[in-house]
Amino acid sequence: MNNNWQHNARNTLKGADSCNAFFQSQQFQDQGFPIKIPLEFANLIDKDNPDDPLLKQVASAPIQAQSGFSTEPLEDEKYTPVAGLVHKYPNRVLLITSRVCAIHCQYCFRQNFNYTEHDAISNYLAIEEYICSHSQINEVILSGGDPLSLSDEKLAQLIGKIEKISHIKNLRIHTRSAVVTPSRITTKLIKLLNHSTLNVVLVTHVNHANELSNDFAKAIRALSNVTLLNQSVLLKGVNDCVLTLSKLSMDLFELGILPYYLHLLDKVSGAEHFLVEDEAAIKLHRELGKKLSGYLVPRLVRDENLAAKTWL
């Protein structure tokens, strides 16, 4: 595998035909959210196992229309006082830094988001003015898409500007790219994050221990001055099992990553088959608490479109 992340980003599996050829199967179909799988992730999938938990996250499934699912389950645009900025909580704002993701997870709640009108880079002057005029904001979250789809140079420019806002103390980066394309954790990125004047928190998105490659382990350990957290989505048939989740927590902790959130599924149309009902999720989480030390048990949460997060 080429260790140039930009080369790897260009050479991904896209669409059903290329995926069926790679996996020597016919289970991929082009429907709904476009299929996109980086080779670094695809190579971790067991081609002989149609129930591989990594495969299930990226393979399209027959549409199962179900009540309560919609194209915009969190209605982020209701909380965008400035294009490219989401302000749901008093002390922090989220910036839509990129429309691009290294991978298309078929449960993605922002797959229908209007990225054209909400781009933080092109709207940064207005965003900066908004943040500067709200001194209660002490944290900026970089999201997307995936912020690590930006080049190291663009990230450095953006972070440098944020560092100059006196009341911003914390920078949080939410990324799926770090684990699905570990080549993205470059020497330049490591230096940038380790030496920032802000308190940097990197939140990885890992759902299953099989995603934790040796390349990822080596890269993530180099982030020595960064707080490392992980958030997962509870997905039926992927990780809705106490043993699976406990192994994930323990393997993450070995890499210095603390389990943070276990999200209930955001009800985006097309992801109905991933739904774990509340009662089952709460029971599973309680059993997880019996198996693990408290600091290894991620919080079971649901994002609401009411500018709040529900703790279960």
> pLDDT digits over 227-260, tens only?
999 999 999 999 999 999 999 999 999 999 999 9
For the chain, how far is it from start to end, CA to CA, in angstroms? 41
**39/74: higher pLDDT:** 39
Q: For position 113, what pLDDT does the model report?
A: 74
Convert the pLDDT of each residue in 252-285 to its tens digit. 999 999 999 999 999 988 899 999 999 999 999 9
Rounded distance, CA 113 to CA 105, Å?
A: 14
Q: What is the mean pLDDT of the chain?
A: 92
Domains in the chain, CATH or no CATH each: 5-58 (no CATH), 76-311 (3.20.20.70)
pLDDT for 1 beyond 60 = no
* Residue 91: band (very low, low, confident or very high) from pLDDT cuts 50, 70, 90: very high
Whole-angstrom distance, CA of residue 258 vs CA of residue 229: 5
**Cβ count within 10 A of residue 66:** 12
pLDDT at residue 309, as a whole number: 62
Tell me the C-alpha distance between 162 and 171, whole Å: 8
pTM above 0.85, yes or no: yes
DSSP secondary structure, 75-140, as one string: -GGGG-SBTTEEEEETTEEEEE--S--SS--TT-TTTT--TTT--TTTTHHHHHHHHHT-TT--EE
Structure tokens at 72: 């915009």
Contacts of 246 (CB under 8 A, 6+ apart): 288, 291, 292, 296
Beta strand pairing call for 227-233 and 92-96 = unpaired
286-311 pLDDT, tens digit each: 999 999 999 999 999 998 755 556 66
